[in-house]
Structure 1
């Protein structure tokens, strides 16, 4: 407990604080206290409070503060310390890949911008200014940071501050109500001759681009001799995620009924392979297989039985020659090499999944069925991001619309020839 005032030195202009001679007077200055408390992470932190009219008031406030030391001590932490504590608390509760993503957003964006601010002093305007600065950053390739990354940063900040509010560390969540720049989600476009020429001339490619039907056909024709042809075929046709197709086991395939069950996926975290459930609850699904796909998988099963002697139902479907399961990150590199060898416009392995949704749409598959096949929680994701209308489908659609309209329009003889042509 100590007393101090706001009097200043006449020579230097600095506050005298506890050195003021008038503190001997009963009614001069205010009472303060300093106490060491144990924080939420079991480490000690020094907390100071002041402005009390009497020593008794300061003692009562100090006593009340010591009844809930963890909350008050955490309020004195910097945001950096709280974010690190929050991440450690969620270790094991979230998917390993999610934790890696969260740590990247925290270390790359939130800590550099807001890490020095104390929890009790953080305001919405501070968070908004930080998000504004982040939104003007350029990332790989010279592009502005994507709206998806900005949404992720905001979500992590809000989640961490919501946890602090639930624990009583702060009274309100300053992360709520943050505004982000308007940015449309990237929509897949089809590689056509014009886009391919622009890419060859400038090296600039669309953010999300998928092959047209003829390009998918060229790729599949060229990789028919590849040991993983069945994998490339299934990704192009049914659109499983790379971790889902890598984690597929023989017990997940029903060759009799022509079905493939997605139950788990493989993720690689810091070089370590981990098995877990699909990306969301909607990711657990069963995909129907056509007769050609069933024949391909049946032939693959027989080849593995001849090579390894027997096929364990729990064995992974797609393996190397020595029996080791393929990994998602290796599949990405292998696919990129095959694309380069075929001399096709560049696409990611995940873009084959985009293309599978487009192929299904072009074939007239119902939107709800496409959503379920892709493992999306809502059809909105399917509509906004995945479905791209191929040129062939677009021409077919407009012709069908014109034919329907012309059934109710009496066309003059001079124009009828143009329609017949």
Structure 2
């Protein structure tokens, strides 16, 4: 095949003897209107490799030749956009993502293989339009997850984020002129708010089993949990996450070289995350997550005790001839190796159940630390730095909640402000007292002037009357009255 390719006429007739399509050998191709025209040509793909292109379904030989010539006149990137399917581009895009985190790659791959390729993978990339994507997302929304429920708005938003990133890459590479997924309208994803485990919510949870998406313990409940797990091997980890707001991966990746117990400070410079069950260690979640966290004297004491226990465990293993790995991590297993990041999640669920406390997730301890810091008097900027957020709005909207005691104090302060505001407050106090006094009728001169009376012109005395009534007494300075000011 030469560079310009060939143009042939084919049909879909099936040979009854072989069961195969006759294609270009069908004897009926000479008839008018039987079969359609195809072209074959060879081009270079994005990687510079020779690639065969075959297109068909044209009504005439001239239409097939025109389409072939238009395709060959395009650039290499534009040819790929006209020839590649969405599935091919998505897999190529994933193969070129070399700087994303393993967890991000895992989520992208799941969205591509589970949702995008089955619904839009067969479409031509260059022909993709918003109508096709809207129909595809409607089909995805009608599918069910592993729990048998319809796909949530959060799942649809995640899939849309993956598709939008992939098509943005196609625009950047020159395969598309615009991103058709940019202006899709999807169900709004509700932003969860942290709910405090009040007595009413605890009672409802015990009766119905329903719990908030993000649940936060009260200080009393947190103190009860910390007292219950005082002898647990990961007591220092529960303390750090609950009071200083470390992420799970940050606590699992913390090393003793990054903890300064003399100055009371630790540095977050790495994290251990999971992609499936595989563990990956790398830099923190974002640039703002790389931070220094101040430690109070109680936290320093907890970490010192944890280090002493770790030293005793190492000596005990050496006594019985077992190997101890000096990994340098703060939180380790029985052999000194760092713990798996998924282990604290499972361990916390077991301990909370044994303690008889309302359930929370491991990440909810981080939410609770922000709430505790706010209640202790820390401003939002200090809480943002403690948690390592890039935006203070995220700290204010999601990671802080108001404890019932603070709400009650704010309500009392508001009512007290109104009651102490002078005469209106005195009237309200009399109304709220046990022996309220009947309201006294105001004098006529103190009654408010109605609109009609306010618009009525005031009587103007004559000059003789004014001279008689307003003549000052002997030896006294005339006092200015409302009428005299009004006439002046």
Q: TM bucket by the smaller chain?
A: 0.7 to 0.9
Other structure's SS at 1:316 match: coil
The corresponding residue for 1:2 is: 7
The corresponding residue for 1:44 is: 51
Instruction: Please tell me whether residue 393 in structure 1 is matched to residue 406 in structure 2.
Output: yes
1:352 to 320, 343, 365: 365
The corresponding residue for 1:10 is: none
The corresponding residue for 1:19 is: 29
Deviations 1:196-222 (A, max 9, x none): 222222222222222222211111110
1:64 to 73, 81, 85: 73
**Aligned-pair distance for 1:255?**
1.3
The correspondence of residues 94-243 of structure 1 with structure 2, limited to 5 A, is: 94-139=100-145, 141=147, 144-243=150-249
**Aligned-pair distance for 1:403?**
3.1
How many Å separate the matches in 1 of 2:27 and 2:7?
Answer: 10
**Aligned-pair distance for 1:245?**
0.6
**Aligned-pair distance for 1:115?**
1.8
How many Å separate the matches in 2 of 1:265 and 1:273?
Answer: 10
**Aligned-pair distance for 1:44?**
3.3
Q: Go from structure 1 to structure 2 and tell me whether the alpha carbon gap of 1:22 and 1:368 turns closer, same or farther (over 3 Å shift).
A: same
Partners of 1:3 and 1:18 within 8 A in 2: no
Other structure's SS at 1:175 match: coil
The corresponding residue for 1:11 is: none
The correspondence of residues 238-249 of structure 1 with structure 2, limited to 5 A, is: 238-249=244-255
Tell which structure's C-alpha radius of gyration is larger. Answer: 2
Deviations 1:306-336 (A, max 9, x none): 4436999971111123212112101111111
The corresponding residue for 1:8 is: none
The corresponding residue for 2:283 is: 277
The corresponding residue for 2:484 is: none
**Aligned-pair distance for 1:354?**
0.9
How many Å separate the matches in 2 of 1:396 and 1:18?
Answer: 90
How many Å separate the matches in 2 of 1:414 and 1:407?
Answer: 12
Q: Go from structure 1 to structure 2 and tell me whether the alpha carbon gap of 1:235 and 1:118 turns closer, same or farther (over 3 Å shift).
A: same
How many Å separate the matches in 2 of 1:58 and 1:121?
Answer: 15
How many Å separate the matches in 1 of 2:280 and 2:150?
Answer: 32
The corresponding residue for 2:293 is: 287
The corresponding residue for 2:328 is: 315
Instruction: Please tell me whether residue 373 in structure 1 is matched to residue 386 in structure 2.
Output: yes
How many Å separate the matches in 1 of 2:386 and 2:160?
Answer: 30
Q: Go from structure 1 to structure 2 and tell me whether the alpha carbon gap of 1:44 and 1:122 turns closer, same or farther (over 3 Å shift).
A: same
Other structure's SS at 2:210 match: coil
Q: Go from structure 1 to structure 2 and tell me whether the alpha carbon gap of 1:217 and 1:57 turns closer, same or farther (over 3 Å shift).
A: closer
How many Å separate the matches in 2 of 1:295 and 1:165?
Answer: 55
Instruction: Please tell me whether residue 411 in structure 1 is matched to residue 416 in structure 2.
Output: no
Q: Go from structure 1 to structure 2 and tell me whether the alpha carbon gap of 1:149 and 1:191 turns closer, same or farther (over 3 Å shift).
A: same
How many Å separate the matches in 2 of 1:192 and 1:314?
Answer: 42
Which sits farther off after the overlay, 196-205 or 351-360?
A: 196-205
Partners of 2:327 and 2:336 within 8 A in 1: no
Other structure's SS at 1:80 match: helix
**Aligned-pair distance for 1:291?**
0.8
Partners of 1:47 and 1:73 within 8 A in 2: no
The two structures, once aligned, show a CA RMSD in angstroms of 3.3
**Aligned-pair distance for 1:133?**
3.2
How many Å separate the matches in 2 of 1:104 and 1:189?
Answer: 31
Aligned residues: 401
Unaligned runs of 5+ in 2: 1-5, 11-25, 319-323, 435-488
The corresponding residue for 1:75 is: 82
Partners of 1:147 and 1:185 within 8 A in 2: no
Which sits farther off after the overlay, 249-258 or 302-311?
A: 302-311
Structure with bigger RCO (C-alpha 8 Å, 6+ apart): 1
2:93 to 81, 86, 89: 86
Other structure's SS at 1:281 match: coil
Deviations 1:374-416 (A, max 9, x none): 1111122112221111111211222233333433243245357
Q: TM-score, normalised by structure 2?
A: 0.74
